[in-house]
Amino acid sequence: MNMVHVRYTVKAERVAENKAHIGLVMAELRTLSRTDIKYSVFVEDDGKTFNHWALCASEEAQRFFVNLESFQAFQQASRQEGYREAAPTTTSLTLVGSSYDLFS
């Protein structure tokens, strides 16, 4: 299982654009109905700091996810000059325990 947390802050004027890109990724994932990819994004109280949580049941699922057309477009857009206030932090996670089945 591969789990990654990415946290970053976008400039206030890019929040709507960032949310739109996230929406496209979510729509593509929902259309595909893959049960081996779990992806959630949260925004903090400041309204511009985003937390992405990607859980993939396998390396193949992770490769599939990062190669989604919508995800690639999102990555390209978010790397534009003036998009983020600071570079993102990425943390790989190891599951210790869960009160529910992550992949069933």
Residue 26 maps to which CATH number?
Answer: 3.30.70.100
Q: Is residue 98 part of a domain?
A: no
Q: Is residue 99 part of a domain?
A: no
Read off the tokens for 56: 């993939």
**pLDDT, tens digit, 9 for 90 and up, residues 3-30:** 999 999 999 999 999 999 999 999 999 9
> Is the Cβ–Cβ distance between 101 and 16 less than 8 Å?
no
One-letter amino acid of 30 = R
Q: Is residue 102 part of a domain?
A: no
Read off the tokens for 3: 């789990």
Q: What is the pTM of this model?
A: 0.92
Q: Is residue 103 part of a domain?
A: no
Which neighbouring-strand residues pair with 4?
A: 54, 92
Total of domains in the chain: 1
**pLDDT, tens digit, 9 for 90 and up, residues 22-76:** 999 999 999 999 999 999 999 999 999 999 999 999 999 999 999 999 999 999 9
Query: The domain containing residue 45 runs over which residues?
Result: 2-93
